[in-house]
Amino acid sequence: MNKHSIQYQLNSTVMTTVTFALLLSSLCMLIYSVNVYYDNKAESLMSRSHLVARALVPSMQFDDYQLAENYLATLKAEDDVLNAFIFDENLKVYAVLNEKIDTDFNPNLFINTGVVVDKSTMIYMTPVMDNGEATGYLLIKVGFHLTRALRTHLFIYFIVFITSLIAAYWFSLKVQKKIVQPLNGVTQLMRRIAITNDLSQRFNSEVKGEIGSLVKAINQLLQELEEKRHELVVVNKSLELEVNERREAEVALKASQKQYLDLNTQLEERVKNRTKQLESANQELEAFSYSVSHDLRAPLRAMDGFSQALLEDYADRLDDEGQDYLNRVRAAAQRMGGLIDDMLMLSRVSRTDMKLEMTNLTLMATDILKELEEQDHERQVTYHLQPNLMAYCDQHLMKIALTNLLSNAWKYSSSNEHAFIEFGQNLEQTFFIKDNGVGFDMKYGHKLFTAFQRLHTAQEFPGSGIGLATVKRVMSRHDGQVWAESEIEKGSIFYFSLPQA
């Protein structure tokens, strides 16, 4: 039998396990039998000693030596009694059953020691009690033969051991027949398929359990392989037709190659023309942006300046209402100037050239927050920045985006005495800026990154409504994303992701 076969390994495993279990159980039973034998022998010795000791009370009381010897003589009828002694209260020998054996040992060693086992003998010493006082002592020494006593047990254990091994081997053969025979059938089937290349063959078996499941799985696999082969034959035919069609198409393609080259030349020329037009449009847009910035700023500066002059030079001629009107004009002019700056910034973000490089966002955020602290030094804001946050981005555009996001966190947490801002990166490599400000209602979140859309009034929090639109445009130029989560009065979290280098 092959040592690597399942049959051999299964048989070896079963027989080894059964042999070990039988040996272990036989050893346990043998130990138990020895202990029982010792206990029974000791109990018998103690019982006989107590009976004889009670019978010796009159002889010891009246100092009747002959009567004491008669009681010792009754122990000769016991086959296992080797010797017996009667000692007086001073532990001197009073009477001996067999004077030729062990008459010189020390009885002090056996007082109150219980049964003493010495090799193949047991010794027990008990006092002869008279009205609660020891008038003497009785010592009995018996022999025992453990091997002879356990011979029958050993024979029974051997018979059970051999019978169990035979039964285990028979059971192992039955199990092997149920397990190995189907496996051998599967092996033969696979060999036939390998030789004949016929996938229509199946293994017919009514085996149940795991082996049955394996047989069904193999049959199912053969069925699927047969179907796949048929599909491959069909696909092969279709591929042959497709190859023929492609050859014909290549011939037609080569025939029309010059036409395609001419068309490609025309397209390149169109691209060049469109590029020139786009550059011209960008130049015009830049000029328009400069014109808007210059032409709109001049009247705004005039409105702000003359309003300030009226307030300073003619304050005594204006009542409170007139001064309030002038202050409103100045505030509107300044707001308009800020709006123009934000619009120009949004326009530049879309047009500026990008230079991508590894950037430390932690250092950038630190500089921005320091600037905010210098501008609003009266506020106490706690912030936590995760160290060494790196991103592959354009430094100029990313600083614009971070400035807008951190400024919003600073601004919208101003009503909280214990304002807190956190900048970090989660396990999904997504950056986030978190604050404990006023928050916003998520049902209006779709308006958040649209220009001129605000979720708070200018009286509550000043701003133009272009900052987050600028952030979204910066992220779009980096092929990234930006989104937000918030609850009213529980703060906001703004997330943004950037492609890795």
Transcribe 184-229 into DSSP letters.
HHHHHHHHHHHHH--TT--------HHHHHHHHHHHHHHHHHHHHH
**Residue 390 — very low, low, confident or very high, per pLDDT cuts 50/70/90?**
very high
Annotate 100-135 with three-state secondary structure. CCCCCCCHHHHCCCCCEEECCEEEEEEEEEECCEEE
pLDDT at position 360 is: 94
Q: Which of 237-241, 255-259, 357-361 has the lowest mean pLDDT?
A: 255-259
Please, are residues 401 and 393 in contact by the beta-carbon 8 Å criterion? no
Question: Which tens digit of pLDDT belongs to each residue from 308-355?
Answer: 777 777 777 778 787 777 777 776 666 666 666 666 665 666 667 788
pLDDT at position 6 is: 66
Q: Looking at the DSSP assignment, which residues form a beta bridge with residue 201?
A: none
| Whether residue 402 has pLDDT greater than 90 | yes
Q: Which of 12-16, 181-185, 354-358 has the lowest mean pLDDT?
A: 181-185
pLDDT at position 206 is: 63
pLDDT at position 461 is: 57
Q: Which residues contact 102 (CB under 8 A, 6 or more apart)?
A: 82, 83, 141
Question: Which tens digit of pLDDT belongs to each residue from 224-237?
Answer: 777 787 788 888 88
- CATH class for the region spanning 267-351: mainly alpha
Q: Which of 392, 359, 404, 351 is nearest to 499 (CA)?
A: 392
In the numeric block, which tokens belong to residue 461? 């929090």
Q: Which of 218, 142, 224 is nearest to 186 (CA)?
A: 218
How does the average pLDDT of the chain come out, rounded? 78
In the predicted model, what is the mean pLDDT of residues 240-266? 82
Q: Which of 197, 238, 188 is nearest to 215 (CA)?
A: 188
- Domain extents for the chain? 6-151, 199-255, 267-351, 353-497
Q: Compute and round to an integer the Cα radius of gyration of the chain.
A: 54
6-151 CATH choice from 3.20.20.70, 3.40.50.1980, 3.40.50.300, 3.30.450.20: 3.30.450.20
Give percent of the chain with pLDDT exceeding 90: 10
Please, are residues 52 and 138 in contact by the beta-carbon 8 Å criterion? yes
Length of the chain counted residue by residue: 501
Q: What span, in angstroms and rounded, lies between the C-alpha atoms of 123 and 46?
A: 10
> What crossing angle do the helices spanning 320-351 and 395-412 adopt, rounded to 10°?
150
Q: Which fold has domain 353-497?
A: Heat Shock Protein 90 (3.30.565)
pLDDT at position 63 is: 81
pLDDT at position 362 is: 94
pTM (whole model) above 0.75: no
